[in-house]
A and B are shown apart, each in its own frame.
Chain A
């Protein structure tokens, strides 16, 4: 099993990085750091650049629709050097779903963020080309949102 990426940080460092005010439903079985959107890029740069953490691989970017609480954008990180894994989450409001992009840190986030934009409607500010990727350009709506009804069969 891979190690916990954040095990190397002590309690104080963890608290300075995470946003203790964001309450999310349910517990995770994954070691998770919750960060406010305004500090996301700074924290991600630290996680990648810091020698002890060395999160050099961004495995996944996705989003979960949490209803009125907003959207939860989830990042899965992996450190090849330390063989460690960790999750970073940030919560955005439903009426203004904007998150800064991490493509400047990991260029591989390009299509991952485009997919989240396409299917969930979360905008990534600073993304080089934020267009729909899986659905047609003229598709209306964001299907993975909980208020999007799937078409009933004709």
Chain B
């Protein structure tokens, strides 16, 4: 009986094609980071409720890997500023952002975080969180549906995996 203990070259080719990928270290790291973003639970106002709904069972952020909301900024990757930012709260948000370790990203969720929203004229409201933090993704809406939040997170994922998209197109679309 003949025992085949060596593989033919075509079998080797198939095995390699199906089981080995050749890539850059950067791509691998970006893939890992973008599929496991840990958000900081920084809900401020009404948008925070939609953020909670996105994390719950119907919209389920867990299928993307983003359900691990961390209370501590030391363990978080992204800060989702969900809701109106007031001048009284601004130093706290700035400090939270500074306490987050690199790499970190910022998502402005909702009209108030993008530009001040319906409260833009107010004496107490910061007109958009980008006045104090560098924002990566803007999610408009009042409040944006959990589906919109998921879309924003997927935009961020695309941005992390391929940072050149944001630089080329400006708006990231």
Residues on A facing B (Cβ under 8 Å): 135-136, 143, 148, 150-154
Contact = CB atoms under 8 A, between A and B. Distances in A.
A136 B88 contact: yes
A contact patch SS: loop
A154 B127 CA distance: 8
14 contacts: A135-B88, A135-B124, A136-B87, A143-B124, A148-B123, A150-B121, A150-B122, A150-B123, A151-B123, A153-B116, A153-B120, A153-B121, A153-B127, A154-B127
Interface of B: 87-88, 116, 120-124, 127
A150 B121 CA distance: 7
A143 B123 contact: yes
Contacts of B120: 153
Given A143-B123, A151-B121, A152-B121, 15 more contacts: A135-B88, A135-B124, A136-B87, A136-B88, A143-B124, A148-B123, A150-B121, A150-B122, A150-B123, A151-B123, A153-B116, A153-B120, A153-B121, A153-B127, A154-B127
A109 to B, nearest CB: 24
Contacts of A148: 123
Nearest to A152: B121
